Amino acid sequence: MNSLIRNTARCLRSGAAVYIPRQADGRVWTSSARFLCAAADIQKALGDIVQKDKVVVFMKGTPAQPMCGFSNAVVQILRMHGVDDYASYNVLEDSELREAPNVTLVKMTSLDWNAAFSNQHNNKDNFFGVKAFSNWPTIPQVYFSGEFVGGCDILLQMHQNGDMVEELKKLGISSSLLEAEKESK
């Protein structure tokens, strides 16, 4: 039995649930009540999310309280460059987030799930589809101006080799490290 059949069977047995994220500061990206939506809508929604803000981070935990060392590293790097105003999405589910009234919980039917992710190599471990959307298997994930930049490793190397300052400049963000460097001269 190959992994696709096995994953589909697992979804059919347990019923796939997809959770629409709430932003770390409490804003929801959609103000609708609970509704059933197709996977394509979620992918489109993610497309909107990454375009909406210049810097978007999908992470474990929040910038105030990261729950993963790799996610924390991303937060720290952004902080070092003075980037504090960015959209972050917490991929960890907790019961409060699940039950909270201002979170939209979307339950997809097994058929929808299968149709949406049958070509993805990461069927059941999608959180809310961000891994499929980015075609990137791990969290954290960073987007600059709607374009996927990478995870913790890439951000760290960009920071170390000076590319981060350049990329932020392209976004119209002046890195505070650049400011500090100017002042010291």
Partner 1 sequence: MLPSVLRCVRPVSTSLSLSRPLAHFRPHMDPDPSRPVERSIRTKLTDQLTPDHLEVHNESHMHAVPPGSESHFRVLVVSSQFEGLPLIKRHRLVNEALKEELSSCVHALAIQAKTPEQWGSNPSLAKSPPCLGGSRGDHTVEEKLKAGRE
Q: Does 94 bind partner 1 (CB under 8 A)?
A: yes
Tell me: does residue 123 bind partner 1 (CB under 8 A).
yes
Q: Least separation, in Å, of the C-beta of 83 and partner 1? A: 18
**Quick one: CA torsion of 132, 41, 98, 35, rounded to 10 degrees?**
-160
Among 138, 162, 169, 171, binds partner 1 (CB under 8 A): 138
Cα first-last separation, the chain? 65
Of the candidate residues 69, 101, 102, 184, the single one contacting partner 1 (CB under 8 A): 69
**Minimum CB–partner distance for residue 28 and partner 1 (Å):** 21
- Using rule CB under 8 A, residue 114 touches partner 1: no
Q: Which stretch binds partner 1 (CB under 8 A): 33-41, 44-52, 70-78, 102-110?
A: 70-78
Q: E strands, the chain, where?
A: 17-19, 55-59, 87-90, 105-107, 141-144, 147-150
The answer to the question of residue 121 lying near partner 1 (CB under 8 A) is yes
Residue type, 35: F
- Per CB under 8 A, the list member of 30, 148, 174, 177 interacting with partner 1 is 148
SS3 percent helix, strand, coil of the chain, rounded to 5, is 45, 15, 40
Complete DSSP assignment for 31-54 = ---S----HHHHHHHHHHHHHHSS
Contact between residue 29 and residue 21 where contact means Cβ atoms under 8 Å apart? yes
Q: Residue numbers of the site for partner 1 (CB under 8 A)?
A: 1-3, 60-61, 66-73, 92-94, 121-125, 127, 135-138, 148-154, 156-158
